Amino acid sequence: MSKVLIDPGHGGIDDGATGFGIKEKDRNLVMAKAIARELRLQGVQAVLTREDDKSILLADRIALEHKEKPDCFISCHMDAAAETASGMTIWVHSKADNVIWNWALDVMNELKAVGFTTNRAQSVSRGYPGSPSSDYYVNRETVSPSMLIEFGFITNQNNLNEHIEHCTEYAKAVAKAVCRFIGVEYKEANSDGDGKSNCAACCRTCPKVEKFQQGMDAERTRADQAEAKLQYLKDYLNR
Ligand SMILES: [Zn+2]
């Protein structure tokens, strides 16, 4: 049976980045669990480095990878920067061969097909930000083919909203490309049992996500009102 190890970045005392009151560690766990669910629906064994909000050393994540010997390893993260920065990035080892590079391109293409806000051209990269010859710990120390996915910027309102709203679709996109990579035929499954449940619904039970969503709704209302005001002025002037 094929096996994939999924690593929700950070956890416990390590929040990772924060945006709009939401912690990266929590979003990473939601995304990792969604990917695991999609892979299990395809008959792939999915193992997580953490199942809940607990601290876990990078070395322990790698020790688990050595023990489990998965077919591939995926670390889930979110970026942080100025509010204007947006887009997803996949990081592979600085010396990743073409097989891994093409796998990363395939994952990115599937993610792009779902759609996300981006202001960056580069989407798949080797090495480490600003240092192509160094590597993320999880890409450097893993034995299996690995990648680290930055599922958008938690500091960008659109990306965070997309992470919440389209979590299941992104997870499916990753699962599709992973199945192709490990030679498992991907079948459109009837999704999550009830065919309807998605991350957006379960995330809304989190008060912080609810607050963020309310903020987004308020912003849309403000934009609508501004538009209506402008239209009123235009109509007035054209009278
Ligand atoms: Zn992170």
Q: Cα of 27 to ligand 1 centre, how many Å?
A: 10
Nearest in space to 174 (alpha carbons), one of 135, 144, 198, 148: 148
CA–CA distances in Å: residue 59 to residues 51, 116, 224: 17, 32, 50
Query: Is a pLDDT exceeding 80 seen at residue 202?
Result: no
Q: What is the pLDDT of residues 95-152, one digit of tens each?
A: 999 999 999 999 999 999 999 999 986 789 999 998 888 999 999 999 999 999 999 9
Is 212 within 8 Å of 160 (Cβ atoms)? yes
Q: Cα of 231 to ligand 1 centre, how many Å?
A: 43
Q: What is the pLDDT of residues 60-108, one digit of tens each?
A: 999 999 999 999 999 999 999 999 999 999 999 999 999 999 999 999 9
Rounded to whole angstroms, the Cα distance separating 181 from 179 reads 5
| DSSP assignment string, 25-51 | HHHHHHHHHHHHHHHHHTT-EEEES-S
Q: Cα of 10 to ligand 1 centre, how many Å?
A: 6
Average pLDDT over residues 199-208: 61
Q: pTM, whole model, 2 decimals?
A: 0.85
Q: Which fold has domain 3-196?
A: Aminopeptidase (3.40.630)
Q: Cα of 228 to ligand 1 centre, how many Å?
A: 40
Is 7 within 8 Å of 73 (Cβ atoms)? yes
Q: Cα of 106 to ligand 1 centre, how many Å?
A: 22
